[in-house]
Structure 1
């Protein structure tokens, strides 16, 4: 037998028996548990039986991605708005440059309005149609 296993078995207290289902105490103490894995990642394997945890992680990733994309879109359209204003200021009276700057400003304003209103429109559509737009509860309802 491997010397490391012998050392490990020798370190187990005498009042503990290792049964196939896991260690138990013969002195009536609280059960000691069983090896699930190594370190903090091994402790999480017990939770893998529950579908709600992967569904929760998936919905957190989707929610984070949508939030980040919304913030990036908002920043982009505000940047477009300011660069259009700067182009208008530096146009020097040239009609073509002023028209291009006006188009850029209007595109920036429309973009900001669309990004902000999209959040409210999706919630309103879900409320009117009676659809729960929570991805987490949707995934749980689909699981058998």
Structure 2
């Protein structure tokens, strides 16, 4: 119990002091190395709905891939730790298959979306929505 308390105390001290140490390291300007939508907002430019939509779609694809990879790794760990149990191996295999199918769906949807947008000469990362003119 003393070891556990010492470890928790050490981690707590580290987590409390780490932000101050990192803040003292240097410039905390988030606009310094900004790219894409963040760069436009840092420069004081107005963001269009198309830019924000493209940014959100890109983030959604990245999150979907990361989640699928997490489930793939989790299935692999379940397989390794199943200890030869047929039910455990089958559950892990099903999880790995589902994760791979999820990755395929994400990549195909990204490909199809880019293909359809390419037919209309649009770019997913620089969407420009049409506007109505008053003429």
TM class, shorter-length: 0.5 to 0.7
Q: What does residue 131 of structure 1 align with?
A: 120
More strand by share: 1
Please state if 1:72 is matched with 2:63: yes
**Which structure carries more relative contact order (alpha carbon 8 Å, separation 6+)?**
2
The two structures, once aligned, show a CA RMSD in angstroms of: 2.1
**Residue 28 of structure 2 corresponds to residue 57 of structure 1:** no
Considering only CA atoms, is the larger Rg found in Structure 1 or Structure 2?
Answer: 1
Aligned to 2:85: 94
Structure 1 unaligned spans of 5+: 1-43, 45-52
**In the alignment, structure 1 residue 103 sits paired with structure 2 residue 77:** no
Note the alpha carbon deviations across 1:70-100, whole angstroms, 9 max, x for none: 1111000000000000000000111111111
TM-score (norm 2): 0.56
| Count of residues in Structure 1 that have an aligned counterpart in Structure 2 | 87
Unaligned runs of 5+ residues in structure 2 are 1-43
Q: 2: distance between equivalents of 1:96 and 1:133?
A: 48
Which residue pairs with 1:121 in the alignment? 112
More displaced, 56-65 or 104-113? 56-65
Say if 2:75 and 2:93, in contact at 8 Å, map to a contact too. yes
Match of 1:20 in 2: none
Is the Cα contact below 8 Å between 2:61 and 2:110 reproduced in 1?
no
1:57: Cα distance to partner?
2.0
What's the TM-score once normalised by structure 1's chain length?
0.53
